[in-house]
Structures are given as structure tokens and as C-alpha cells.
Amino acid sequence: MNGIVIIDKPAGKTSHDIVSEVKKIMGAKKAGHTGTLDPMATGVLPICLNEATKLAQFLSGENKEYLATMLLGIKTDTLDTEGEITGQSDKFVRDEEIKAALAQMVGKIRQVPPAYSAVKYCGEPLYKYARKGIFLETAAREVEIYSIVVEDISFPRVTFRIACSKGTYIRSICSDVGEMLGCGACLCGLRRLRSGLFSADMAVSLENYEREEKKCELLAKMLPMTKSLPLLTGIEVEEDFANKLRDGMQPTVATMQLHVLPFLEAGDMIKFVSRGGSLVAVAEMLAPVSKFSEFDGKHQAAKIVRVFNNVNN
């Protein structure tokens, strides 16, 4: 049992809670998610099972899409309605002003991780320090907001759809917009609609279920490992070559030339797939295919980043 199941996370549970629940339902030895959702958030939470946990590093960096609701006039210490109120305002803001402020957030911006977040400092998440009254200064990080579409304004609540890069804090977006408008704001609702190739229509609910029935549903909807990295160029290899990769062999120009190779540049990420359909390894090209003829056959052509055991995936 190696693959990825997409869970529709309910509000009130941590991402870790969901991982533990899925692990128990499936009887998996290992499980892990590909991107934390706060307890108040709902929606798409991909869970990797067993050998597929090795894929998490390639999936956590995918772009995300959310449906968020912002509450104007309220500021909290956590930047959402789960925290303590630190400021209030009855200032009225026109729809045009709200839309203009949100529009200013589109593009590359810098965000300081919220004090109550899972970002780690000296091995401990920031929220643990914050709960002790210790608020650390952390460096701002660059994130990118690809689009923001306002879905509804029912003052003081504003609902908008946002597409963004990994590591974006929607709480911070709301707080920053509130400061721009001069009334303060916090996040009061969040649903993840998409995480990379995983969308809400692929997600399975864990509400009110019988364990065996839910296990069958999850197995039926499990995404095989071979289909989890669709943007990576695949190179089909015979079992002998696949086994050598699993044993630690680094692909050379000579061994790569034995296979059908598409146009690849240095730095491109690729996946080796066996003729039996199993995901064998993920690698980074070190030399462009177009210049293979200029290298000695023993020259390393690609660097193996991750190898997967010979299992049905």
C-alpha cells in the first residue's frame, strides 16, 4: 500500500491529527502530509502512505489555492479568530477600497511568519515560544501571490479566492490588508481548494465513517506514486537498470544514452520509471542531453535525489 490519498480536512483538527487517523484506518506503517493546514482551516490535505512518504519533499513546494474569508475591524494576536482580540475598529470601508487593497497584494511580496506559526527556530515552532510570551524576530520571506479574486463582500466580511506560492500565510494577507485600510482585519475562514495537482474534487471526507468502508474508499481513490509527479519528465528503464539505481548507481552519460531521452537541460528534474510501471527514482540532470557527445561516457549525467524501493506503486 504505497500512494497518496487526498483528505478533506475538517475544522478543529490539526494536520497531524488527520495523518494519525488515516494511518490507523489504512493500517500503514508510515504516513505524512505535504503541507500543514491550521486547525481552523478545511480542505485539501494530501497524505502520503508508506513508500510514498519519500515524495513529500517534491510535493510540499507546489502552489496552493484557497477560499478565504477576512473579518474587517478585528485584530488578534494570532491574526485569525482563534486568537485573543488586540484591537477593534468600527470604521466603514467601501467595497472599492477593499478590492484595491487586495489587488495591491498580488505579485511577489515579503512576509514575516506569524508569531503563532509552525516555522521553527532552534528546533522549536514559533507558536511554542509565543505561548510562553516570547515573541521572536524572524526574517521576512518572499512569497508570490498569483491572483486574488473577490467572491463576496458582506461588510465586515470579505470572501476571496487566492492562488499563491508555498509558504504563504493567508492570515498575514488579511492582517496586512486591514492595516492598509486603517481598520485592522483577521482571518475568519479558510478552505484549501488545491495543492499542486491535488484538488477538492479528489478529496475524501473523514466525517462519520465506518473504518472498513472508509479504507475501501481511500484505496479506490489512492493516487499511485507513478502519477504523483506529472510535471517531471519520465524515462522508462529496464528492471536491471532500475535495480542498479536502487543499489546506488549514479547515471552516467554512457548509461543514459542506452535509453530514449527527450530534450533535457542541466537542472531539469526527471523520474525513472520501470517498464513494469513502478517509480524507481527522482534525479536532477547535471548535463544537457544536447551536449552528451562532448563528454566522456563515464561523466555523471544525473544526480539521484531519491530512490524508491521495488514495490507496487
Residues catalogued as catalytic: 38
d(CA 276, CA 123): 42
SS3 annotation, 207-261 = CCCCHHHHHHHHHHHCEEHHHCCCCCEEEEECHHHHHHHHCCCCCEHHHHCCCCC
d(CA 179, CA 169): 16
d(CA 103, CA 101): 5
Residue 12: burial class (beta carbons within 10 Å; 0-12, 13-18, 19+): exposed
First to last CA, the chain: 8
DSSP string, 171-199: HHHHHHHHHHHTS-EEEEEEEEEEETTEE
**DSSP 3-state assignment of 54?**
helix
Residue 251: burial class (beta carbons within 10 Å; 0-12, 13-18, 19+): buried
d(CA 5, CA 46): 6
Cell numbers given for 216? 475501501
